[in-house]
Amino acid sequence: MPSSELARKTLDRRLAALRQLEVPLPPRGWVRALREALGMSAADLARRMGLTRQAVSQLERSEAEGSIRLDTLRRAAEALDSVLVYALVPKEALDDVVRARARAVAERTIQGVEHTMALEAQSGGSGDRERLVEELAERLAESGRLWSD
């Protein structure tokens, strides 16, 4: 098993539980939602973070807008006796993503070859085409050269 395939399978196992989660972002952000749920004022959070109240307001706005820096969010989490959980969770299993990409690249490659063959008045059967696409997709998936376009 190629190392990239092993890495995909290992990471997919780790991400399986996260893929099931659908936790919507609170409208005004996690920092404010958690702070308010704890009964903590913005001034209290500011003091715990060593910031001004205005800086906390800006922090909460930037989180709600999606422009907050991770290190700032991590500091806020610590001040709220929380941990920052950060992950990129692919919508599909990684093997499925790689196979779909490999097939798309193989299709484009075979189309280019077919075009050239048509110009030269050569052609292959449709069964041959599907077999070629599948074989090329498998080789591409193993090669790791899928994302360079």
pLDDT grade for 115, boundaries at 50, 70 and 90: low
> What is the predicted pLDDT for the residue at 131?
87
Query: Residue 114 pLDDT more than 80?
Result: no
Cβ-count burial 108-117 (b if 16+ within 10 Å, e if not) = eebeeeeeee
Task: Calculate what percentage of the chain has a pLDDT beyond 70.
Answer: 88
Residue pLDDT, tens place only, 21-76: 888 899 999 999 999 999 999 999 999 999 999 999 999 999 999 999 999 999 99
Q: Which CATH number fits domain 20-79: 1.10.3110, 1.10.260, 1.20.930, 1.10.3470?
A: 1.10.260
6 or 128, greater pLDDT: 6
Residue pLDDT, tens place only, 121-141: 555 555 688 888 888 888 888
> What is the predicted pLDDT for the residue at 81?
97
| Per-domain residue ranges of the chain | 20-79, 94-143
Question: Residue 98: CB partners within 8 Å, gap ≥ 6?
Answer: 8, 141, 146
> What is the predicted pLDDT for the residue at 40?
98
> What is the predicted pLDDT for the residue at 10?
92
- 140 contacts 146 by C-beta, under 8 angstroms: yes
Helix axes 42-49, 53-65, angle to 10 degrees: 100
- 87 contacts 18 by C-beta, under 8 angstroms: yes
- Give the DSSP letter string of the chain: --HHHHHHHHHHHHHHHHHH---PPPTT-HHHHHHHHTT--HHHHHHHHT--HHHHHHHHHHHHHT---HHHHHHHHHHTT---------SS-HHHHHHHHHHHHHHHHHHHHHHHHHHTT----HHHHHHHHHHHHHHHHHHT-SS--
